[in-house]
A and B are shown apart, each in its own frame.
Chain A
């Protein structure tokens, strides 16, 4: 009896595996960007925090014998450049990649269905829906968050960061020509530093929520999440519609 049920279960599993298929969602450039971007953000947050609040002094040697703060700043600038180039590449791919690659850069605000789906997702996160919906790309709430935290947030950090970099590069430099207007806009760059700091925490908050939700949905939703950003394939756990 017990054996029979086990055999039945196996059979059902096999049948379901045969029926279930995966969809190729995130193409290689998007996946590579995601992980490069994540690494750059991690480096930027850690070094950026230290630039605002330096580690304890290393005062044993002559100044020319060490370059600790210089290296921290170098890591920050290097990661910032990688983030910027990556973001530009991501914009390029949004134009030439598949339609999922475009999701980060627009919000279908005129689409009533999209707003209803956001409401549904909010209800799901408030434990008011017993079963989530299936999405091939980002769910609408995720799209909204990505747009404000990553597309707007990273753009803001690139622009303010480049303006701060232009201060060091000096007037007349390429950075100053491109981003010096930001310095003129805020007047005192002390304000720009403060805004850049707040921007970092904006992205840190996103990181916390993003990682939590990705793992939670990987377990509780009806589709793959974490592995999708590794393989690019979205797999589904059942064959029911929606």
Chain B
């Protein structure tokens, strides 16, 4: 299985102590650059992250493709719209509220979120539209955040919400609204606590560009990309399955689980293969087989033991 391996850490890869000592000032700089940077391209700031055991032997998608070929309907439905229309979005200051069935509901400011120990996770990203990428995310396990708010025993699900700012997100205003806002997503609590599930604050070693879900987004690598909700402002723990935007828009097309599954087709296209973005252009061999759970079956298949994955797609 090529899904994960524990790399031997070369001496040159070990983060020098001075960077550790500088972490605090570094975080402040990163948060500051989100707030104060000029609008548009050069807002990204470098992020310090430690290597993790979650990596891949596959070539990274070129950063240009990962940051210009996006689905983020709050900025428009075209693939280039998020990069083209998100320059006026302000990812800082930012607060994310955690409430619902938790012992210690609270808000987290951006600096607190960036202060979690950050790791680089190289994950496959499989879109429900049958294309895929390999992206080096920077983030921290969602479980680390959930631990801080102490979920109650009655909590079974985690609900997420994207920010609503029609004045900064052109897809949320005007006559044509492709989806109902806020964009909402949800996970089962055990899925949310799985070590692979992260909240990402960056990619390619830098803070998240607006079009990729700045300043903080969800990444669940064994699920279709639409589960990876962007620009999160609220996380709620609930007892019942939370409503999810795409599931509401097309219940027979987008399931609550949305686990990557080559055997269960989308009604309008096959999910058996995928097109790897940024590889080969017109004539390269860029169509490849899709793997069950996007190649993470070894880690996550047990979460769904005994479940009918055709019915629970």
Q: Are A and B part of the same complex?
A: no
User: Which residues of B does A touch, CB under 8 Å?
Assistant: none
